[in-house]
Amino acid sequence: MRKFAVMLYPDFSLQEITCLTSALTVWFGETIDFIASENKEYRSEEGLRVFPTKTTADAAITDYDCVILPGTINPMPALFDETLIDFLRGGVNTSIVFAAISSSPALLSKAGILDGKKFTAGYFMQFADTFSFIQKENFVHKPIVEDGNVITGIGMFFREFAEAVLKRFDYDIGGSFMRDNPAAYTEEELTFYWSEDDYQEFLNELKEYPV
């Protein structure tokens, strides 16, 4: 089993990473650690209130094969969270795959992960002009950019971002990852049945409820 982590910080975007995280957990049975600098409630862009499963003090970044960074509509708290940035710095010059989308490549820039690497991001270019640690000369204006162990993406291309990460780890995702045409399905293909074993498991579970 591979080890995956998602970094949490204020106003993180669920929408940008859930294609990836749901495929990892539901399709491929992986477990994800959700890591933040503090053991406290974090609110997503969408308003969901969540708690991390680990803090940066409880985890070593080198324990992970892949570290996923969601975007955030408000990157400043994460960008100036030195505990978080120091945790990411532990991945410099390692083979850890860093997957960052939307504004979160800025965190990798500050941590030194993007030094000398081509990347993309979803932040405004004036934002890049403001911070000297962002190597703007390496910014590539494409939806997804892969350079060595780093995968970066623009938020609107969340499916392509997920696809790039899953392919990096050789998961079999077929030829049209989450892009099937609804009109192409027949009524029979859209009618679902449990196997006998799964149906029996459901019936056994149902006994626990007051039906």
One-letter identity of residue 143: P
Closest CA to 151 of 87, 108, 92: 108
Which helix or strand (DSSP H or E) is residue 87 part of?
Answer: helix 82-89
Residue with tokens 């992986």: 30
Question: What does pTM read for this prediction?
Answer: 0.92
User: What fold is seen in the domain 4-179?
Assistant: Rossmann fold (3.40.50)
Per-residue pLDDT 10s for the chain (211 aa) are 799 999 999 999 999 999 999 999 999 999 999 999 999 999 999 999 999 999 999 999 999 999 999 999 999 999 999 999 999 999 999 999 999 999 999 999 999 999 999 999 999 999 999 999 999 999 999 999 999 999 999 999 999 999 999 999 999 998 889 888 888 899 999 999 999 999 999 999 999 999 7
Residues 6+ apart with CB under 8 A from 122: 71, 101, 102, 103, 153, 154, 155, 156
DSSP characters for 145-156?
A: EEETTEEEE-GG
What distance in Å separates the CA atoms of residue 59 and residue 207, rounded to the nearest whole number?
40
Closest CA to 7 of 65, 52, 45: 52
DSSP-derived secondary structure letter, 51 = -
pLDDT tens column, 19-49 = 999 999 999 999 999 999 999 999 999 999 9
What distance in Å separates the CA atoms of residue 145 and residue 139, rounded to the nearest whole number?
9
Question: CA angle, 30 as apex, 106 and 46 as ends, to 5°?
Answer: 50
